[in-house]
Structure 1
């Protein structure tokens, strides 16, 4: 049989609703055509990796700066004028199922697990109930992490989604490989860009979602980064693009004003926003109340933009959906008040965010001159579990060797500087080096103060060590204050204390190595054996103790002062506790099923009917045939078990 390698194209020849979430075997038969497929199973992003920190920070700064001068949304609006970008009608025979999934494109295990969930029917045995696969998949932002650069979309988004719901293999190789394979009743996929999608100026996002090219078995229909879907029975979905930290652009605002004119009395809208900016607004109002003299602090650009669209919609607005925060949280209006349901559901594959710091209840927010009062109705994971997961951040050395290695190198560099500077004779040390002087001191409180005094004597003659020490202290201070919008002075002070502890650990390592190598082993300070023991010991103990100090301090800072709310979780790369929404539109009724996946699969097997040709590092090479209609990988043991986070949420159109 002759092999052919063709591109992925939409369609799998299946009915709109596939079998429940159970992996089935494909039959084997000879065929005249086959397709070679490559899938790369990426690990989760190491957010505290030294190079990752620098790369992400640089790309974020460049994207923000360039976006302030050249907005790609203006170019997209010129290429797609409003009269050529009408609402996208979604055909349906009464019942319509729509999925909402946000914050995908991180590690393979979590992203592929969620891609499998949204590509299959879901059985809920406890009810019993079967939820058909969505006719439309709404992606709520951040489809790739950390950035779209270096084939980010391909390996972290396309590979898992095309493997979970692949395009069909035609029985006869087509003459034009760019021609999509027809698939009657293929589901759609539409996307809202998040901040990570914007890190390349939205170029990759536009090529992927706005050119009507299929993604595996899904079809894309949107023309711009914002869209309107017209569902049957007076239901609509609006997707917003609010860029990074800018306001909504003029053309997009005009577009939605025209879409608003198409709404009929009684129509209801589900609004997809890139982030839950209403939480930021509630926290801002809480800060203002706590101040004796209110400041001129203003709303964030994204909330101002969201508020403009909400005011435009008025009573048509039924639900606001958002990702960005990687958890589930639903704020419902207080009894007797009129306001939309606000749901954060960012469990599509990225690292878990905690829920224990969410405002409960939040301060009332003002939209269209009306104060909206909310209660926190449900969260996932629950706040107790969130705190327990937060407390595990002290295990940093077991999770992030590269970051701990960076800390060890900083300690070694600082000790090297001060030890070299102490080679200059000084009468206060009897002309001994700092390491020799410390080796004479036993561990005690008075000697601890003496060790600091000796360090300051040396640093007085070493400007380079002073600069490094200041850099460490200031770096920890800035790290603690990152993302903090209140008590910033306290955050800087706590961070500075954190930096001083790292300096103390560095001098403690020099003291320990001097005590062991010089006092107990009786080695000379310049002896090669002593130098090698010092280097290996400082790197080993510095990495372990520095990682423990950094992780424990993040936990303490979050517990006592609410600091490090994101990094205390991102440093752990928690792949579990994922979630998505499956929505059922039937007549005048919308029913939202919030679904959770407690444990993602971590061991995969190649599906039957697909031939494994090779595996090189993390990349698999498979051969698929026209009979290979299911997912390319299946869980090695058991099926994925989905459960409801809370009872279904029912919303009427009237």
Structure 2
């Protein structure tokens, strides 16, 4: 990887290593046991501390003034006739996906085509808004540098002047108590040319023709704290009655409540209603949110928009749930999704190949199956399946160790089961556990029969070692397959485990961002831009106008940026 020294201070990065492909970070493997453990611990600690000491209260004391950034005028104080800006959310994961989006955003002129064949010339935004979850799996300065700043710096290099940057935090940014986020985005730093302005984890920007850009921070508890309320009350006093608002949120309460219902989501919806009705005192024209890693748009008859655009680089989320998406409570109806529900359902079948997409999880299940067979330590080679099963049951009942392992596995899978199963959650976990225990039994029985055809005596070191290798190999394949089948059925039949079923696949494609344009007449045009398949191969840029890395033409399966749907005009 090219050195990231100087990214935070603003010094130019060192030239990229002239290799065939930049040594960027791979996408997070969410079924990796170590990743799960570390992220779970950080999330639990951050949530506990966040309930006791809210970082936003201290930041409000450190920056008490309410001074919205004014981009309605130029540097000479003249009113701007128009303005372009870009919205990117859920980024900072794998190099291919994050860099592909960053490179599209960084182009001075990006020509995109819609489904009808019409083309549009769009300009790189003077403002860049990061809409939440700027890094994965957890926040740290090093992680931001490697997974976020490095690809964005390489993308902007040689193309155009870096835009002004604004950011709101998502739950992953909060996993270190917001320390790294505040250090990078809220202290007036210049991040290798990207100039930051905000002093809190939320912001307000005055735009041309009476438009306002508002970014909120709902923290891990989906809470709108009192200093933030006062801040936006002061901002609302600066607005005229006819002014219009673009509201950026870390989570789309209007859809998350259907996909992951909980008291927190209801609380978030109430906070948003309070912000809109009681604090700002006007209807929001455009809601922009990430958290769900796909594109989905709802709109009402008034032309107001609720858009999810969480495609900045993280793994893909499914769009085929809820299976029968109904109109929202406030009259907003679904208009477009990317990928389509049909494509999303097709992608879900990749769960049957989890051994390939999540090999470290296969190592875990291989070791677990091997441990069960070792603890059993009986010769099943001369018995058919029913007799072998009876022998296993009798041996297990006489061996507390085997029973303990089986119970712990089952309890763990009950805890893993999606809360949306409701009162049937325990049954889903038990059936899942029995499926793994059955697979381990059949594997041990098959290996015993195979060993019976050899001349190696039962209990010999050679036979035990060979059996262990075969059972591990079988567990490496069978364990992820059982898990993948469970996730596939849970998602497509019961509409649950959406996050687990797709995060484990780490799909880098179907990325998206929103390009916004306030034109001379004061109209707001939104260009939802998608990348169907991001490049997998890169080479160093050769021309002065090239970014640090460009897509290798030999990667012919990569697709250019294109409009997900025709521009939305307000």
Superposed pair shares fold, TM > 0.5: yes
Distance in 1 between the 2:111 and 2:322 partners?
31
SS state of the match for residue 329, structure 1?
strand
Q: Which moved more, 1:269-278 or 1:208-217?
A: 208-217
Give the superposition deviation at 1:302.
2.4
Residues 409 and 6 (structure 1 numbering): CA distance in 2 closer, same or farther, change over 3 Å? closer
Give the superposition deviation at 1:73.
0.5
Distance in 2 between the 1:73 and 1:248 partners?
10
Which residue is equivalent to 2:342?
A: 384
Distance in 1 between the 2:258 and 2:444 partners?
48
Which residue is equivalent to 2:371?
A: 413
Give the superposition deviation at 1:355.
0.2
Give the superposition deviation at 1:109.
0.5
Cα deviations across residues 98-124 of structure 1 (Å, max 9, x unaligned)? 111100000001000111011112112
Query: Which runs of no fewer than 5 residues in structure 2 stay unpaired?
Result: 75-79
The normalised TM-score by structure 1 is 0.80
Which residue is equivalent to 1:457?
A: 394
Distance in 2 between the 1:86 and 1:131 partners?
27
Cα deviations across residues 249-287 of structure 1 (Å, max 9, x unaligned)? 1101110111111110110000001011111335689x9
Residues 167 and 407 (structure 1 numbering): CA distance in 2 closer, same or farther, change over 3 Å? same
Give the alignment's Cα RMSD to 1 decimal: 2.6
Residues 492 and 5 (structure 1 numbering): CA distance in 2 closer, same or farther, change over 3 Å? closer
Which residue is equivalent to 1:192?
A: 168
Residues 318 and 456 (structure 1 numbering): CA distance in 2 closer, same or farther, change over 3 Å? same
Which residue is equivalent to 1:641?
A: 560
Which residue is equivalent to 1:440?
A: 382
Give the superposition deviation at 1:188.
0.8
- After superposition, residues 320-359 of structure 1 pair within 5 angstroms as 320-333=287-300, 335=301, 338=302, 340-358=304-322
Answer whether contact 1:326 1:351 (CA < 8 A) is retained. Answer: yes
1:157 aligns with 2:148: yes
1:488 aligns with 2:437: no
Residues 605 and 563 (structure 1 numbering): CA distance in 2 closer, same or farther, change over 3 Å? same
SS state of the match for residue 285, structure 2?
strand
Distance in 1 between the 2:502 and 2:5 partners?
41
Which residue is equivalent to 1:136?
A: 127
SS state of the match for residue 282, structure 2?
helix
Which residue is equivalent to 1:523?
A: 456
Distance in 2 between the 1:11 and 1:68 partners?
35
SS state of the match for residue 369, structure 2?
helix
SS state of the match for residue 449, structure 2?
helix
1:306 aligns with 2:272: yes
Residues 132 and 145 (structure 1 numbering): CA distance in 2 closer, same or farther, change over 3 Å? same
Which residue is equivalent to 2:499?
A: 566
Which residue is equivalent to 2:471?
A: 538
Distance in 1 between the 2:14 and 2:290 partners?
35
Answer whether contact 1:56 1:147 (CA < 8 A) is retained. Answer: yes
Query: How many residues matched?
Result: 550
Which residue is equivalent to 1:556?
A: 489
Answer whether contact 1:5 1:36 (CA < 8 A) is retained. Answer: no
Which residue is equivalent to 1:499?
A: 433
Answer whether contact 1:273 1:306 (CA < 8 A) is retained. Answer: no
Cα deviations across residues 535-576 of structure 1 (Å, max 9, x unaligned)? 110111111122222212211221221222111111111001
Distance in 1 between the 2:492 and 2:338 partners?
19
Which of these residues, 489, 507, 513, is aligned with residue 447 of structure 2? 513
Q: Which moved more, 1:115-124 or 1:41-50?
A: 115-124
Which residue is equivalent to 2:103?
A: 116
- After superposition, residues 254-293 of structure 1 pair within 5 angstroms as 254-282=230-258
SS state of the match for residue 547, structure 1?
helix
Which residue is equivalent to 2:529?
A: 595
Distance in 1 between the 2:32 and 2:404 partners?
23
SS state of the match for residue 417, structure 2?
helix
Residues 306 and 650 (structure 1 numbering): CA distance in 2 closer, same or farther, change over 3 Å? same
Distance in 1 between the 2:265 and 2:445 partners?
51
Give the superposition deviation at 1:307.
2.0
Distance in 2 between the 1:76 and 1:588 partners?
34
Answer whether contact 2:7 2:149 (CA < 8 A) is retained. Answer: no
SS state of the match for residue 502, structure 1?
helix
Answer whether contact 1:8 1:167 (CA < 8 A) is retained. Answer: no
Answer whether contact 2:531 2:559 (CA < 8 A) is retained. Answer: yes
Give the superposition deviation at 1:523.
2.4
Which of these residues, 450, 469, 472, is aligned with residue 406 of structure 2? 469
Which residue is equivalent to 1:234?
A: 210
Which residue is equivalent to 1:7?
A: 6
Distance in 2 between the 1:575 and 1:6 partners?
27
Residues 280 and 186 (structure 1 numbering): CA distance in 2 closer, same or farther, change over 3 Å? closer
Residues 392 and 281 (structure 1 numbering): CA distance in 2 closer, same or farther, change over 3 Å? closer
Answer whether contact 2:414 2:429 (CA < 8 A) is retained. Answer: yes
Query: Which runs of no fewer than 5 residues in structure 1 stay unpaired?
Result: 13-32, 169-182, 288-296, 366-371, 420-433, 610-627
Answer whether contact 1:163 1:216 (CA < 8 A) is retained. Answer: no
Residues 299 and 91 (structure 1 numbering): CA distance in 2 closer, same or farther, change over 3 Å? same
Residues 575 and 284 (structure 1 numbering): CA distance in 2 closer, same or farther, change over 3 Å? closer
Distance in 2 between the 1:298 and 1:405 partners?
36
Residues 359 and 135 (structure 1 numbering): CA distance in 2 closer, same or farther, change over 3 Å? farther
SS state of the match for residue 191, structure 2?
coil
Answer whether contact 1:165 1:216 (CA < 8 A) is retained. Answer: no
Q: Which moved more, 1:41-50 or 1:521-530?
A: 521-530
